Structure 1
Amino acid sequence: MKDFNSYTPGGDSDKESFEKSNVAQMAAKMMGSFNGKSEADLMKAIYQEAEKNRKAGTLSDAELDNFYNTLSPMLDAQKRKKLAAVIKKLKGM
């Protein structure tokens, strides 16, 4: 559902739409490959992958916003602030 007018009962939920997005695929790939790695390694990989996808035109600001809005409720205030900073930096790429 992109807005209230496009809502249809039984249609794709925001979560399902997010799971189909490039951002979700990127996050899932990194989560699996960085299990047990340092935060610095994870951040480096996130920025490299995001830069590659931004240059390819497959990572939009809307997808980054969707990622933030989906993930942020699950984080504490400190982690939410860090995620917001990461998203801001990714949008600047």
Structure 2
Amino acid sequence: MTDTQRHHRLRVRATGWTHPVLAGFEADLSLYRLEENALSKHAAQLHQLTGGYFKALTYAISTAAVIAIRSGSENITEKEIKAATAQLGPWQPAADQP
């Protein structure tokens, strides 16, 4: 894998800046009943389900928000996260990753 390919495969880690990233999503979501730290408390699960890839994380959170709006809950819980990430399929590391 070239440096350019590595650069384009942005990944978030389960520690470090993951929580600020999730807090940023929480601040930007326009859900009426979003609980405090709704995403941050599921950081490890989100990381596992998305493989730490930012694009997959963005998709999962956006999809979970749509599910929350359509259900009327206006909150993202483990239920919405699992429903959103089920559409991604199981994450598998690429062959060039340890």
Q: Same fold (TM over 0.5)?
A: no
TM-score normalised by structure 2 residue count: 0.30
The structure with the largest helix share of the pair is 1
TM-score normalised by structure 1 residue count: 0.31
